[in-house]
Amino acid sequence: MSGIATSAPKGHIEVRNFSLSYETIDGAVQAVTDTHIHVKPGEFVSIVGPSGCGKSTFLNAVAGFLKPTTGTITVDGERVSGPSAERGMVFQQYSLFPWKTVRENVEFGLKMRGMPRSQRERAARTLLGLAGLEAFEKHYPEKLSGGMKQRVGIVRALATGPKVLLLDEPFGALDAQTRVIMQQILTNMWQRLKISVLFVTHDIDEAIFLSDRVYCMTARPGSIKAEIPIPLERPRQQSMMMSSEFLALRRGLMSLIREESLRAMGGEINDLGMQGLNIELHGHSLADVI
Amino acid sequence: MRATAIGIVSLLAFLLVWHLLTTYRVVFFVRFTNVPSPLAVYASFTKAIHDPKFLMHILLSCRRIFIGFSLAAVVGVPLALIMGRFKLVHEVIFPVTEVLRPIPAIAWVPMAIMLWPTNEQSIVFITFLGSFFPILVNTLHGMSLVDPVLVRAAQCLGARERSIFREVYFPASLPHIFTGLTIGMGVAWVSLIAAEMISGQYGIGYFTWEAYSLVQYADIALGMIAIGVLGLGSSLLIRGAGHLVMPWRSK
């Protein structure tokens, strides 16, 4: 099993002075500005923020799809210059190849690496077994449920033994029950593989439940507003989400995001003539926040 | 099951109406005076299947379709794939194809006769032209619809340019390629029959036209039906090939 049974954690992500802007017809738009983050080897880190804050853009830059306008991204000291199998990615829309069976999807990265057919078939079967999908290896993705598709997506990204797993709102399209199961599966795989995870979500509970640390982003142009360590013990259980510790973390993060969401919507609210609503934000009126 | 039954009844009704219109030689705006009856056509069919000349007409038409259509697919599909992937190639070739595309293949007949040394080659050329543009345009369309997220997924699994082309762009475009092939096959037959009627000495189109000149009216209908059956058969072949090549799309 190549890349599966590694012992020493790897995948130190370091992002410094990062900013990203892109050109539109109306001129340059600043998507992300002045962002510093790091992920220690083997650490699970989430980025949360109001929608449109540039967190997915940021993740795409770490994956190597977008070039930073300023700043650097390195993984284990090596500069990111383009997409690579070292940084596995899981997409919200699953992005499985519809013309490949479940097993062929999982084999893809190994095939690209030139692994012989019989060897990669065996590797893919083992991985699918870990995800409880061995019975579906010959199915085409279209026949699978959303949760199964995303399990294939995760297994496919892990098959090449990447140093880092990047996930872009991977469970956003799933129902609540499936989502909880997927979070468990992801946690198990992460603990087993000891790789670094950078997880983008807008779901605060999900971020707290999964992560060692959570970065909260500001509204556009996105930058890091706060960094919150999550000192909850592992293994974590579903029941933990009712604990006072969890709820305190949740309240803190919630108000940070709320501030930013309102700031992002400030213009709209003003346009609608809704200043008089006096929405309360821990002591401040909306006007102070805007 | 129900649809099949209704289909059969509907076809039988069609034959009955045809039979009645021709036996009573109805003249009502259109004249059925000389139109052959279904029975007369059946009689000439039983005669024709034992006639090596009739079979040769059919075989020759099929050969022209096979060569012309295959060439169009072999040239059109890769060309469109490359045009869809490389902007410069697209910018160079697309204007030319846009100018040539609206010209019906039949309008090429005089030019084709001048261009090619033999009649046979010019007819195959007309067939090629007829199927080439639908194949090209549909493949291009398929290329433009490839989901960029799938390309990204392949890239971060370590795929390089050539693998992305083979493993993503090509299979993702296949459904549209097959749409192009199906339409192209239809237009190939249209072009072939027209070309055979104008300049052929053999072929099922020529057979049909010749029957009119020789006042063998039953053979006109026989030729038409033969063309219909051949067209249907070839489009079924393409559909079957599509199911074989794209197993993920069949239910």
A125-146, pLDDT tens digit by residue? 999 998 889 999 999 999 999 9
B146 at interface of A, judged by CB pairs closer than 8 A: no
Per cent of chain B over pLDDT 70 is 100
Residue A276: is its pLDDT beyond 70?
no
The reply to whether residue B157 touches residue A108, judged by beta carbons under 8 angstroms, is yes
Sign of CA dihedral A58, A64, A70, A71: positive
* pLDDT band of A12, cuts 50, 70, 90: very high
Least confident of A65-74, A106-115, A234-243, B201-210: A234-243
Residue B125: is its pLDDT beyond 60?
yes
Residues in B touching A93 (Cβ below 8 Å): 149
pLDDT (0 to 100) of residue A266: 67
* pLDDT band of B1, cuts 50, 70, 90: confident
The reply to whether residue A99 touches residue B152, judged by beta carbons under 8 angstroms, is no
Helices B170-199 and B217-245: crossing angle in degrees, nearest 10, is 170
The reply to whether residue A112 touches residue B159, judged by beta carbons under 8 angstroms, is yes
State which residue of chain A sits closest to B158, comparing Cα positions.
Answer: A85
What tokens appear for B31 in the block? 């004249």
**Domains, chain A, ranges and CATH?**
13-264 (3.40.50.300)
pLDDT (0 to 100) of residue A285: 44
The reply to whether residue B158 touches residue A140, judged by beta carbons under 8 angstroms, is no
pLDDT (0 to 100) of residue A270: 57
pLDDT (0 to 100) of residue A27: 85
* Bridge-based pairing state of the strands A13-24 and A70-75: antiparallel
Residues in B touching A109 (Cβ below 8 Å): 157-158
The mean pLDDT of chain B is: 95
pLDDT (0 to 100) of residue A280: 44
The mean pLDDT of chain A is: 87
Per cent of chain A over pLDDT 90 is 68
Interface contacts (A, B; CB < 8 Å):
67
Q: Is the pTM of this model over 0.90?
A: no
Running DSSP on this structure, what letter comes out for residue A286? H
Q: How far is A87 from chain B (nearest CA, A)?
A: 7
pLDDT one-digit tens code per residue, A199-242? 999 999 999 999 999 999 988 888 999 999 999 999 898 888 89
Residues in B touching A165 (Cβ below 8 Å): none
Residue B16: is its pLDDT beyond 70?
yes
What tokens appear for A120 in the block? 């990669």
Could you tell me which residues come within 8 angstroms of residue B58 by beta carbon, excluding any fewer than 6 positions away? B204, B226, B230
pLDDT (0 to 100) of residue A284: 45
Spell out which chain A residues touch chain B, with contact meaning CB-CB distance below 8 angstroms: 63-65, 82-85, 87-89, 91, 93, 95-101, 108-109, 112-113, 140, 142, 156-157, 160
Among B157, B245, B246, the strongest candidate for a mutation testing the A interface, having the largest count of A CBs within 10 A, is B157
Per cent of chain A over pLDDT 70 is 89
Q: Among B153, B171, B172, select the one facing A91 at the smallest CB separation.
A: B153
Among B149, B156, B164, B246, the strongest candidate for a mutation testing the A interface, having the largest count of A CBs within 10 A, is B156
Read off the pLDDT of each residue in B207-232 and give the average, rounded to a whole number.
94
Residues in A touching B168 (Cβ below 8 Å): 97
What tokens appear for A169 in the block? 């709102």
Residue A278: is its pLDDT beyond 60?
no
Residues in A touching B250 (Cβ below 8 Å): none
B165 at interface of A, judged by CB pairs closer than 8 A: no
* pLDDT band of A115, cuts 50, 70, 90: very high
Residues in A touching B163 (Cβ below 8 Å): 112
CA-CA distance, B39 to B22, in Å (whole number)?
Answer: 10
CA-CA distance, B111 to B105, in Å (whole number)?
Answer: 10
The reply to whether residue B163 touches residue A160, judged by beta carbons under 8 angstroms, is no
Residue A271: is its pLDDT beyond 60?
no
Residue A286: is its pLDDT beyond 50?
no
Residue type, A264: A
State which residue of chain A sits closest to B175, comparing Cα positions.
Answer: A99
Q: How far is A78 from chain B (nearest CA, A)?
A: 16
3-state SS, residue A238? helix
Could you tell me which residues come within 8 angstroms of residue A114 by beta carbon, excluding any fewer than 6 positions away? none
For residue B53, give the nearest of B230, B225, B223, B229 by alpha carbon.
B223
Residue type, B53: K
CA-CA distance, A145 to A212, in Å (whole number)?
Answer: 29
pLDDT (0 to 100) of residue A50: 85
Q: A62 burial class (0-12, 13-18, 19+ CB within 10 angstroms)?
A: buried
Residue B121: is its pLDDT beyond 50?
yes
Q: Among A87, A109, A140, select the one facing B248 at the smallest CB separation.
A: A140
Q: Would you say B126 and B195 are in contact if contact means Cβ atoms under 8 Å apart?
A: yes
Read off the pLDDT of each residue in B27-31 and give the average, rounded to a whole number.
91
Residue A279: is its pLDDT beyond 70?
no
Q: Measuring CA to CA, how many Å separate B193 from each of B126, B210, B216, B222, B227? A: 10, 12, 19, 14, 8
Q: B117 burial class (0-12, 13-18, 19+ CB within 10 angstroms)?
A: exposed
What tokens appear for A6 in the block? 């590694």
The reply to whether residue B167 touches residue A113, judged by beta carbons under 8 angstroms, is no
Residues in A touching B247 (Cβ below 8 Å): 140
